């Protein structure tokens, strides 16, 4: 895949997303799809109440159009492309239902945990069976080595675990203006570069489509955010990112490429375990981005630091993959 097509893919995703946002945002506002802010959160967030949510629809449309358009033009539309879009849209639908129930039907919890989990498992298993239509490798590579472990039939359980885990991880991380938009765009761009290096053009087109669409969305999602992606966007991004790592056979590298999402999730798990076993909290509030806010950091500082950590992790991964 040439630099020209990489640039074109990112640019197309960016332009579509940036053009759709001014159309979608007033519509979301008219429909009163405003975000509710939980009272136990940082008080500085209360001013965000009513900001339009479900903005993930903006970049989901941009990603689908860009991926199909570039893939068709370059004759690289494959089963893997379909699987990536299935997971993106499928998890996005779950997120949309969750947002819709919360915002429109005024049921604060949205979908129940069980309903959401069942939906995630269904789309994960569907993706597994679609992948089996072509050459399918059930092994998992150990990063930066020549070793791998073949999971055989158990690999389907890994796919479910990976997609459910990372979709929820990205969802947990979506608490500050531009945090997920920035970190996810870095992660997808990293996998896009690796896809090019390993001559997987179909995966590269998808990855760079997401990168461009997220950067276009970031224009309106950066502080002060004019729109939030909601579960519509965060669940879709997490599921798609996990599936991209699976298709590239770089599953475990996602732990480094998506280090922010891993740390955010770990902070919630540790907080719950500590409180239930010792009656004490480790952090002032979890996920950990709220801990830094309550420690005196401004929202922008937290976001910029997390972006930087994600960017450095991406550089380390790329250098190790190229030179080791």
State residue 233's pLDDT score.
97
- 150 pLDDT exceeds 70? yes
Give the dihedral sign, CA 60/62/66/69. positive
pLDDT value for 136: 87
pLDDT at 38 (0 to 100): 57
Q: What is the pLDDT of residue 112?
A: 86
The percentage of residues in the chain with a pLDDT greater than 90, rounded to a whole number, is 80
Q: pTM of this prediction?
A: 0.94
pLDDT in tens, 32-52: 666 665 555 565 555 666 788
CA proximity to 5, closest of 85, 87, 72: 72
Give the number of C-alpha atoms closer than 13 A to the C-alpha of residue 264, restricted to the C-beta side: 27
Average pLDDT over residues 261-287: 95
Q: Once rounded to an integer, what is the mean pLDDT over residues 8-33? A: 91
**What pLDDT does residue 109 have?**
67
pLDDT of residue 28: 86
How far from 160 is each of 184, 243, 321, CA to CA, in Å?
20, 10, 26
Return the pLDDT at 48.
64
- Residue 45 has a pLDDT of 57
Give the chain's domain count.
1
Q: Return the bridge partners of 140, or none.
A: 149
Predicted pLDDT at 283: 93
Whether residue 251 is predicted with pLDDT greater than 70 in this model: the reply is: yes
What is the span of the domain harbouring residue 154? 3-323
* Per-residue pLDDT reduced to its tens digit, 85-131: 999 999 999 999 999 888 877 666 678 889 999 999 999 999 999 99
Q: Are 55 and 230 in contact (CB under 8 A)?
A: yes
- Write out pLDDT tens, residues 180-222: 999 999 999 999 999 999 999 999 999 999 999 999 999 999 9
């Amino acid at each position: 895949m040439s630099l020209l097509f990489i640039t074109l893919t990112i640019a197309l995703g960016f332009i579509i997303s940036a053009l759709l946002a001014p159309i979608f945002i007033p519509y979301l506002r008219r429909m009163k799809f405003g975000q509710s802010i939980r009272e136990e959160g940082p008080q500085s967030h209360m001013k965000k109440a009513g900001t339009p949510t479900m903005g993930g629809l903006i970049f989901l449309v941009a990603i689908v159009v860009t991926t199909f358009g570039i893939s068709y033009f370059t004759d690289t539309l494959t089963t893997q492309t379909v699987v990536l879009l299935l997971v993106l849209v499928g998890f996005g639908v779950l997120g949309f239902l969750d947002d819709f129930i919360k915002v429109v039907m005024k049921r604060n919890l949205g979908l129940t945990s069980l309903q959401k989990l069942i939906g995630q498992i269904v789309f994960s298993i569907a993706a597994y069976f679609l992948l089996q239509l072509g050459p399918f490798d059930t092994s998992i590579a150990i990063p930066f080595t020549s070793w791998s472990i073949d999971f055989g039939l158990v690999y389907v359980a890994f796919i479910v675990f990976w997609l459910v885990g990372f979709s929820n991880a990205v969802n947990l991380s979506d608490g500050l203006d531009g945090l997920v938009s920035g970190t996810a765009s870095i992660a997808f761009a990293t996998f896009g570069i690796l896809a090019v290096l390993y001559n997987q053009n179909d995966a590269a087109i998808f990855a760079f489509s997401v990168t461009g669409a997220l950067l276009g969305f970031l224009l309106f999602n950066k502080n002060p955010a004019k729109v939030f992606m909601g579960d519509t966007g965060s669940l879709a991004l997490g599921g798609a990112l996990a599936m991209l790592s699976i298709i590239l056979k770089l599953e475990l590298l996602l732990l480094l490429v998506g280090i922010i999402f891993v740390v955010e999730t770990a902070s919630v798990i540790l907080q719950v375990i500590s409180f239930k076993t010792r009656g004490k909290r480790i952090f002032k509030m979890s996920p950990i981005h709220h801990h830094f806010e309550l420690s005196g950091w401004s929202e922008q500082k937290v976001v910029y630091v997390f972006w930087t950590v994600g960017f450095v992790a991406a550089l380390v991964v790329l250098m190790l993959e190229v030179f080791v």
